[in-house]
Structure 1
Amino acid sequence: MKKSTPTVDRTLLSILCGGLLAPLTLLPDAAAAAERVLAEVIVTAQKRAENVQDVPIAISAFGAVELEERAIGDVAQLSNIAPNVTLDAGTPFSGSSSVLSAYIRGIGQNDFAFNLDPGVGVYLDGVYLARTTGSNQDLLDVERIEVLKGPQGTLFGRNTIGGAISIVTREPGEEFAFRGDITTGSYDRFGVRASVDLPLTDTLTSLVTVGMKNRKGYQRRIAFPADGVFAFDSFQDFKAAGYDSAPREGGDDMWNARAKVRWDAGGPAAFTLSADYTDIDQSAIANSVLAITPVPGPFAGAPQDNLPGTAFDPTASSGWLFAGLYNFCIGSTPAEIAARNATNLCGPRGTPLNPQWMLAPLASVNVDDDPFNDRLPYDARFLLDDPDLSYADGNSFSKLENWGVAGVLDVDLSNTMSLKSISAYRQMDWSVGMDLDGSPLAMLHTSFNMYQKQWSQELQLVGNALGERLQYVVGVYYFKESGNLNDFVTFSEGLLQIDGPNDLWTENYAGFTQIDWRITELVGITLGGRYTREKKRFEGFQSDLQGHNYKLFNCLPVSEPCRTALDFPDPDNPLRYYVPGEQEKTFSNFSPRLGVQLHPSPDMMAYASYSEGYKTGGWTTRLSNPLPPDPETGVAPAPDFDEETAESWEVGVKSQWLANRVQVNAAMFKTDYNGIQLNFQQGVSPTIQNAGDARIEGAEIEVLAELGGGFSLTGSWGYIDAKYTSVLPEAVVAPSPFQAGVFVGAVLPKTPRNKFNVSPRFEFPVSNGATLVLLADYTRTSRMRNDTEGTFLLERPATDQLNAGIIYRSANGHWDLTLGGTNLTDDRYLITGQAQIAGGQIYGTYNRPREWYLMLQVRQ
């Protein structure tokens, strides 16, 4: 793979490395400076404010200053510095960096579909964000982030089976204050943020923060150097969620705002009203085609997809993938097409049932007498060895409007008891369009519309008794969500065109409690549980605008006998895959938490715990074939999947040493992970099914140290061994030359065995009372699967990431200037991708290249 190293990047690397090494000569003088101790970190992981060292849960917590200094601008960028955590900006064919693929200790979700719930819950000021879309939050005016490891089913609830990420934003100050920053950098980066604390009265304070970010994409689209004149269909000839191309992919164009108003008269009650808004209108994330697979062969390689007597009959000379079918249609004579029973498949695209989407036939266009209708075959000519170049020219857009309002009421009922109410409404409107085939052809174009709204209400009664030796929380929770997702997918210049609207509705009730009792100075225990009941409704309308199955079996024109014979379930829409009518499922779960703590000294706590969590089930919405009817009922079932559950055992220790200058936290865990929901490729459809069970074992350690003389060091190591212990027969994928497979003993996706991070920081005085800060982050991550089947071309190899920065801090503290670089090793690897074998390609998204930035921060 080709790598380019611009001169400015080499220069930046030299400056940063030189800057990091030079201060070592200053250590003797710096050692005379006053020594610092570790700052106390307050978290609310257990619904009350407490020191993170007193919480018997493995937590990685990051404060505002740390996030700013390390140039962490969104949730996904936490991945490098949190052990046993894998966070990526984007999932297969999501097209959007606002989609969060989150895995903690081997459990998560790598899809964006409305019907699929996350395995790691993301919370914004206590409000659950129900979709992976929009969960990769821009960290605007954040006070801290808490990453909670392991099932958090008791206090956080459903869909936190892997863990939870809690984003806590800053509260309004009691005095006027202003802070802001302006950033420039690689790819014409330009960003501005400003925040104002504005007291309105003696009892009313407010906070308003706005930000914007713009950056050109790092992948350039270039024209394919075709030798001759060829005909093309416009990407606008196919039904899609929108039409908007772009010369570059992987860019940023967004703005956001957050506002808070807090009333506090000093009495028993206080109320905070907050609102946030995000608007994104940018290109899709970059995609690179890794392999093109148009060669003859059994359709999708699955026996159920090999159809005797049709063009996909493997007993004939060959079967086809969809890309191969396209190449056959354009390059074969009418006689050759007829001999393969493919006259209708290669004929007019679309059907008279949807005349607005009909296009001219592809049959024999390259072998007839008209040189002006010739078309390019789809083959390896479109492969590039540079991940920052592409021949794609179709849709490339990612648009998101995401907003919410929340009201938080805090009431002190007595000196030992308080009540908190969190009421929230959120709404999201998202659309995205991608050209995933890396060519000027419409071989794989996908686009989506999603609309979602949610309401939630939570009540928490928090208190203490027995002289604060017993802490408790009791709560109830209600959540309601509704919306729709429309899928539009074009394969092989319209030889298959999927139109997939789906409607979903969810309602959830829960009650929970947890008691932490310090029985003696040495021993404490934790008892808790949560009961959840959930109801879901779904209706799928997915259909094929091309009428592919009817053409495959030469069943034209579309008729009632053909519809019945081919198992299409809707007499009113003979192209519809899904059975008509609303589907409904109900789930219930009890998630307990048990724990014991030992406190041998004020600076040390050892703990052991058992906890459970669950992720709700649902329906597969992506079909490319109708399902056969049930023999007993005569009605085709909706393809559904069950919930998944986890039981986790953990032992750990939290400790501080050397007069609070060194902190060492460590944990070991084992999780039984059952009913795993994984994304499998069935033909051209990525579908969700329960794969089986797994056992996950691992350990992690986090160290913080103030070493004196202005030098501090943080580091972490995570180890995890996550393998299937049982796999359902229908989920087994046998190893092959291009995929590792899914079987007992195979590893889970997005789960590297080892991750090591070290982050040195050196702060020392310079002239005129100013301060210079030098810092770096180095992370080594072992290889991992990026997809369920373990496609070798999509595998993420072992990676080395280095970020670094130099901060000049003014003497009066009113301004800072930061020069920094990210991915200074220019280590390029795939963060996501798909093996769309039936469609004819394997493609993926690479991480961002080496970049520099310069940021000026001001505060008043």
Structure 2
Amino acid sequence: MTNTLGSRALLMIGVAAAALGAAPAFAADTRAATPAAATDPTTAAPAADPAPDQLTDIVVTATKRETNLQKTPIAINVLGGQDLKDRHVQSLYDLADGAVPSLRIATFEARQTALTIGIRGIVPLDANQPAREQGVGIYVDGVYLGRQHGLNAALFDVERIEVLKGPQGTLFGRNTEGGALSIVTRAPTGKFALRATAGTATYGGYNADAHLDLPAIAGFAIKLDGVIQHQDPTTTNPLAGQTGWNYFHRRGGRAAVRWQPIDGLTDDFAYDNGYDSNSPFYSQLLNYNPNGCAAGTQASQPNCYLPGTNYTNLTGTVKPPLPGVVVNGTSRQRIADIGVPQQPSIDKTHGFTNTLKYAASPAVELRSITAWRGVSSTQWDNSGGAHRVPVVAPGCTGNACNFSRYSLADLYQHQFSQEFQAVGGFDRLQYVAGLYYFYEHASDDAATPNSNAIAGYTTAGQTSGYMNVILDPCTGSAGFGSTQGCRSIDRASEVWSRSYAAYGQLTYDLTDALHFTAGGRYTHDKKRGVLHFSRNINYDTAPQTAAINGYKPLDKTWDRFNPMATLAYDFSSTIHGYAKYSTGYRAGGASSRTANYQAFDPEDVKAYELGLKTDFWDRRARFNLAGYIMDRKNSQVDISSIQPTATGSFNNLVTINAPGITRIRGVEADLTVQPVAGLTLTGSYAYTYTRIPPVLISATAGGTTTNVYQNFYIVFTPRNAASGAIDYSLPVGSGDTRLRFHLDANYAQSTQAFDQFATHNDASFIVNGRVALADITTGDRKLTLSVWARNLLDEQYVFRRDPSNSLPGSPSTSVTTGSVNNVLGDYGNFNAPRTIGLEASIAM
């Protein structure tokens, strides 16, 4: 598979050289309708309407005003509404195929309940805790979403998705080190319109959405959106009545009201409510004891090495896989080898936004953005089955026969934000100024009981005489279970966060061609957190035990000033260059995966960027290029460590700030060509280099201390990634009917999936396609019929590979001796299989 994948990648990049690569970036959707205003009134006048074989202008709001993408000195990718249709993007996770090469999206663990989103190598591994933050800001209509939970909910009526690359700390604030993902929805028009889509797909899939615009009455315009998306499991659970894996059922509704009582005053109010029932991807056992671990000296087993340790001896026994377990690292399993209890995880999102805009004069527009949002996430993850620890030995008795770690977690969050902006300009000066307030309250808990046991297991490799047993859901796992009220709580925490900010940005036209932009943002963050439970010890009722464990509540404040400066030059009306300096920061916090609730500090990034944006060939071609250097200080990384507690020593996942400078370097190139009317070729390529300096790890156990340098890695960041697309639109008949063809291909080199391990996942090559007979006119209605395919070639690759089960355990009684008792093998997750669907859409 690897050789085939490599040859396909080389072929795709070669074809992309004719289009330079691949996906819709910078000038992403040259075919989609753009907002009515081509540029902001305070900027240069919009260009004349392009000819049919010329590329259209694309409007973005990256600078808090509407501007022409080509004249905006920021590296931006844009996915328009037509792009999302062509790729059949129903949720953000559908962009994990690499549509934008520098944007990386992955599940947290194997779960669809939370997404890890990164840009330009800023990809936090574990932002899944209430006291930890993301590295890329996610915004919907200007409102920041504080948690990665609920991000995979169904997308409503999206006009475009802007991917703002590089630190956005000045205009967008904290936790935007890598950039910002800005989702812009369609606003009410005040004119009657109805658009509806219904479709069916393989794996029991179906989808439907409806968007109704009502005529304006007394200055009020109303728009209603509804959506439903469903897919049956792609890996079947053999246990009757239980959910399989990679299942989802999403539904949601949104109501928006636009009030325009007088000229210059617009108030937009929106309420949305979403529901997402889903299950994780199946975690297969990819190999068995791949490092040849066994009892003996560490020197005799150089591959059986746990990073961050200095073992001299390995003890214990590598156990065989349980009877019935399938080892398969080459293909996606359609049926799991062992049936386990699995119920859907449930994510619920809801909130309102009120955006008030008042054009006080031609030189100033005043804005107020008020938002309240909430998310609840109930996680049920039993995707590992017998492929994860604990590993059961032949001849086991009692609780030693239990297996299948059922990972359970609940998260509840609500947030409130208020932002005031003043945007405008006069003569040669444009400005943005703002005040911002953000409040968040989040709590979580987690438990990991075993759900299964094996009886009659006496001999390795036996094929009969044994039986898998489902444990009592309340008491079966050593007296505990998965049912609420019966759980042994691994951890439970609660966090309150407040953030205050003031910012400003000025752009001055030094000449008609030379423009200078400077800005800054001051942020004051305060975060308070408590650890309620650790290892089933209630810290609230046992403060003395908590003190023995070294527990301290989190109570931290941080202040930052994030400046930026840009010098932009218009070489001509179609060639624009810029040099930019920008900064960003990610807030600190505490790890609830530790017994002492160990705190860590913020991390800061500085970036230097050169960019070039060009239109040529009589505006039938567009080429954009950016190169950047990013230096990050105090990178937040996770290490496994042993901490003594009141009930013994435990292996904790501790977050620390890595000393030194993390270096991130990259080049991004985007090309769009429209050689003839109706044919569009788009391409993107991203090269990303990352390096975290080695970290000195000290471990103490049994009176002995070791000091070992350990390497850390930035996850889900391919060194090379590319994407390419071909779109062709052919008139049919004499009306507006057109036959539309879309084909895209997306490649990413293999990456690390965990920051502590050098082990890579697989490279990927995903092809998507769509054919549509669009705008069939019947009276005042237009009908579109289409067939689409995701992962058209049914490519199979491991997007997440976990080597922790194939390496010795962390030190417990001695830092020089490790145990291989729980060595089994790497486990991981394959990507989704090919899905094909039919859709019909009507607009009137």
* TM category, shorter: 0.7 to 0.9
| Pairing 1:403-414 to 2, within 5 Å after superposition | 403-414=350-361
Instruction: Give the Cα–Cα distance (whole angstroms) in 2 for the partners of residues 296 and 399 of structure 1.
Output: 42
Paired position in structure 1 for 2:429? 470
CA distance 1:575–1:437, shift in 2 (3 Å): farther
Instruction: Give the Cα–Cα distance (whole angstroms) in 2 for the partners of residues 433 and 485 of structure 1.
Output: 14
CA distance 1:303–1:87, shift in 2 (3 Å): closer
1:35 matches 2:1: no
What is the deviation of 1:258? Answer: 1.2
Paired position in structure 1 for 2:753? 786
Point out where structure 1 has 5 or more consecutive residues left out of the alignment.
Answer: 3-32, 224-243, 307-312, 328-376, 548-562, 628-637, 733-740
What is the deviation of 1:685? Answer: 4.3
Please tell me whether the aligned partners of residues 424 and 457 of structure 1 are also in contact (alpha carbons under 8 angstroms). yes
What is the deviation of 1:383? Answer: 3.2
Instruction: Give the Cα–Cα distance (whole angstroms) in 2 for the partners of residues 85 and 608 of structure 1.
Output: 20
Paired position in structure 2 for 1:65? 82
Paired position in structure 2 for 1:521? 512
Please tell me whether the aligned partners of residues 174 and 584 of structure 2 are also in contact (alpha carbons under 8 angstroms). yes
Paired position in structure 2 for 1:282? 278
Paired position in structure 1 for 2:601? 642
Instruction: Give the Cα–Cα distance (whole angstroms) in 1 for the partners of residues 106 and 722 of structure 2.
Output: 21
Instruction: Look up the SS of the partner of 1:527 in the other structure.
Output: strand
Instruction: Look up the SS of the partner of 1:108 in the other structure.
Output: coil
Paired position in structure 2 for 1:655? 614
Output one character per residue of 1:120-169: Cα deviation in whole Å (capped at 9) or x when no partner. Answer: 11001000001111123432100111000000000000000011000000
What TM-score do the two structures reach when normalised by structure 2?
0.78
Give 2:743's aligned amino acid: A
Paired position in structure 1 for 2:195? 179
Please tell me whether the aligned partners of residues 148 and 164 of structure 1 are also in contact (alpha carbons under 8 angstroms). yes
What is the deviation of 1:571? Answer: 4.5
Instruction: Give the Cα–Cα distance (whole angstroms) in 1 for the partners of residues 514 and 506 of structure 2.
Output: 14
What is the deviation of 1:98? Answer: 4.0
| Pairing 1:672-691 to 2, within 5 Å after superposition | 672-682=631-641, 685-691=652-658
Instruction: Give the Cα–Cα distance (whole angstroms) in 1 for the partners of residues 489 and 113 of structure 2.
Output: 24
1:721 matches 2:689: yes
Give 2:425's aligned amino acid: N
1:134 to 143, 147, 150: 150
Instruction: Give the Cα–Cα distance (whole angstroms) in 2 for the partners of residues 267 and 500 of structure 1.
Output: 55
What is the deviation of 1:292? Answer: 6.1
Instruction: Give the Cα–Cα distance (whole angstroms) in 1 for the partners of residues 653 and 324 of structure 2.
Output: 24
Please tell me whether the aligned partners of residues 340 and 404 of structure 2 are also in contact (alpha carbons under 8 angstroms). no
RMSD over equivalenced CA pairs, Å? 3.2
1:539 matches 2:535: no
Please tell me whether the aligned partners of residues 471 and 515 of structure 1 are also in contact (alpha carbons under 8 angstroms). yes
Please tell me whether the aligned partners of residues 228 and 251 of structure 2 are also in contact (alpha carbons under 8 angstroms). yes
1:88 matches 2:86: no
1:707 matches 2:675: yes
Paired position in structure 1 for 2:438? 479
What is the deviation of 1:430? Answer: 0.7
Instruction: Give the Cα–Cα distance (whole angstroms) in 2 for the partners of residues 602 and 406 of structure 1.
Output: 38
1:432 to 379, 395, 404: 379
What is the deviation of 1:280? Answer: 1.4
What is the deviation of 1:581? Answer: 6.0
2:585 to 603, 614, 626: 614
Instruction: Look up the SS of the partner of 2:752 in the other structure.
Output: coil
Give 1:600's aligned amino acid: F
What is the deviation of 1:175? Answer: 0.8
Please tell me whether the aligned partners of residues 393 and 439 of structure 1 are also in contact (alpha carbons under 8 angstroms). no
Please tell me whether the aligned partners of residues 569 and 579 of structure 1 are also in contact (alpha carbons under 8 angstroms). no
Give 2:668's aligned amino acid: E
Higher relative contact order (CA 8 A, sep 6+): 2
1:509 matches 2:468: no
Instruction: Look up the SS of the partner of 1:249 in the other structure.
Output: coil
Instruction: Look up the SS of the partner of 2:224 in the other structure.
Output: strand
What is the deviation of 1:747? Answer: 5.1
2:348 to 398, 401, 404: 401
Please tell me whether the aligned partners of residues 535 and 586 of structure 1 are also in contact (alpha carbons under 8 angstroms). yes
Output one character per residue of 1:687-739: Cα deviation in whole Å (capped at 9) or x when no partner. Answer: 43223432111111111122114211111111111122x2320299xxxxxxx
Give 1:44's aligned amino acid: T
Instruction: Give the Cα–Cα distance (whole angstroms) in 2 for the partners of residues 392 and 829 of structure 1.
Output: 23
What is the deviation of 1:819? Answer: 0.7
Please tell me whether the aligned partners of residues 84 and 105 of structure 1 are also in contact (alpha carbons under 8 angstroms). no
1:422 to 333, 356, 369: 369
1:831 matches 2:775: no
Instruction: Look up the SS of the partner of 2:133 in the other structure.
Output: coil
What is the deviation of 1:91? Answer: 1.0
Instruction: Look up the SS of the partner of 2:70 in the other structure.
Output: helix
Please tell me whether the aligned partners of residues 610 and 648 of structure 1 are also in contact (alpha carbons under 8 angstroms). yes
CA distance 1:296–1:798, shift in 2 (3 Å): closer
1:597 matches 2:581: no
Please tell me whether the aligned partners of residues 764 and 771 of structure 1 are also in contact (alpha carbons under 8 angstroms). yes
Instruction: Look up the SS of the partner of 1:68 in the other structure.
Output: helix
1:252 to 248, 252, 267: 248
Instruction: Give the Cα–Cα distance (whole angstroms) in 2 for the partners of residues 396 and 597 of structure 1.
Output: 54
CA distance 1:303–1:159, shift in 2 (3 Å): closer
Please tell me whether the aligned partners of residues 91 and 832 of structure 1 are also in contact (alpha carbons under 8 angstroms). no
What is the deviation of 1:834? Answer: 3.6
Give 1:464's aligned amino acid: G
What is the deviation of 1:797? Answer: 2.3
CA distance 1:60–1:245, shift in 2 (3 Å): farther
Instruction: Look up the SS of the partner of 2:449 in the other structure.
Output: strand
CA distance 1:207–1:847, shift in 2 (3 Å): same
CA distance 1:448–1:578, shift in 2 (3 Å): farther
Paired position in structure 2 for 1:857? 841
Instruction: Give the Cα–Cα distance (whole angstroms) in 2 for the partners of residues 303 and 72 of structure 1.
Output: 39
| Pairing 1:692-841 to 2, within 5 Å after superposition | 692=659, 693-724=661-692, 726-730=693-697, 748-767=714-733, 769=735, 770-792=737-759, 795-812=760-777, 814-837=782-805, 838=809
Output one character per residue of 1:799-847: Cα deviation in whole Å (capped at 9) or x when no partner. Answer: 2111111111144271111111111222222233544434655432221
Instruction: Give the Cα–Cα distance (whole angstroms) in 2 for the partners of residues 260 and 63 of structure 1.
Output: 20
CA distance 1:596–1:484, shift in 2 (3 Å): same
1:843 matches 2:827: yes
Point out where structure 2 has 5 or more consecutive residues left out of the alignment.
Answer: 3-49, 299-303, 388-401, 454-476, 481-487, 643-650, 700-707, 810-821
Instruction: Give the Cα–Cα distance (whole angstroms) in 2 for the partners of residues 255 and 502 of structure 1.
Output: 30
Give 2:142's aligned amino acid: G
1:123 matches 2:120: no
1:381 matches 2:325: yes
Instruction: Give the Cα–Cα distance (whole angstroms) in 2 for the partners of residues 320 and 639 of structure 1.
Output: 33
Output one character per residue of 1:609-644: Cα deviation in whole Å (capped at 9) or x when no partner. Answer: 000101011111113xx45xxxxxxxxxx4111111
Please tell me whether the aligned partners of residues 100 and 135 of structure 1 are also in contact (alpha carbons under 8 angstroms). yes
Higher relative helix content:
1
Instruction: Give the Cα–Cα distance (whole angstroms) in 2 for the partners of residues 667 and 167 of structure 1.
Output: 23
CA distance 1:314–1:382, shift in 2 (3 Å): farther
Give 2:61's aligned amino acid: T
Paired position in structure 1 for 2:398? none
Instruction: Look up the SS of the partner of 1:463 in the other structure.
Output: strand
Please tell me whether the aligned partners of residues 554 and 589 of structure 2 are also in contact (alpha carbons under 8 angstroms). no
Identity %: 28
What TM-score do the two structures reach when normalised by structure 1?
0.76
Instruction: Look up the SS of the partner of 1:65 in the other structure.
Output: helix
CA distance 1:435–1:92, shift in 2 (3 Å): same
Please tell me whether the aligned partners of residues 101 and 723 of structure 2 are also in contact (alpha carbons under 8 angstroms). no
Instruction: Look up the SS of the partner of 2:448 in the other structure.
Output: strand
Give 2:746's aligned amino acid: T
Instruction: Give the Cα–Cα distance (whole angstroms) in 2 for the partners of residues 62 and 83 of structure 1.
Output: 9
After TM superposition, the structure 1 stretch with the greater mean CA deviation from structure 2, 194-203 or 451-460, is 194-203
After TM superposition, the structure 1 stretch with the greater mean CA deviation from structure 2, 414-423 or 377-386, is 377-386
